[in-house]
């Protein structure tokens, strides 16, 4: 893993985070069922894509034990749940950026 590869991982995770953050409010508060249903498909798709990308690139392995802001360790089963995803992916991005800045990558 070099710095460029790590930067690409961070970029992709930010894209997933942004896509999720755009769709989730419509899922929760859309004006009608059609809007909420489309947003539900979008949210589900983003999380599925992110999950596949994270596992294919061993992002959890790169990040090591990643703590949330409250000091707890990320749990993979919670990470991909809709109501935790935005918060946890932001924490993962922060951890990867710290690794990049410190040069702690292989």
pLDDT of residue 61: 86
pLDDT band at 62 (very low <50, low <70, confident <90, very high): confident
Q: Give pLDDT, residue 75.
A: 66
CA–CA distance, 106 with 89 (Å, rounded to integer): 22
Residue 75 backbone class (left: φ over 0; alpha: ψ -120 to 50; beta: rest): beta
pLDDT at 78 > cutoff 60? yes
Question: Which residue ranges make up each domain of the chain?
Answer: 3-102
Tell me how far apart the terminal alpha carbons of the chain are, to the nearest angstrom. 5
Summarised one tens digit per residue, pLDDT across range 35-49 is 999 999 999 999 999
Residue 103: pLDDT band with limits 50, 70, 90: confident
């Amino acid at each position: 893993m070099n710095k460029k590869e790590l930067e690409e991982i961070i970029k992709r995770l930010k894209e997933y985070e942004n896509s999720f953050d755009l769709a989730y409010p419509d899922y929760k508060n859309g004006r009608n069922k059609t809007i909420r249903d489309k947003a539900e498909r979008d949210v589900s798709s983003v999380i599925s894509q992110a999950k596949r990308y994270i596992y294919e690139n061993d992002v959890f392995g790169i990040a090591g034990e990643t703590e949330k802001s409250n000091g707890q360790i990320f749990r993979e089963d919670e990470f991909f749940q809709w109501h935790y995803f935005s918060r946890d992916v932001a924490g993962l991005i922060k951890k990867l950026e710290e690794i990049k800045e410190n040069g702690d990558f292989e």
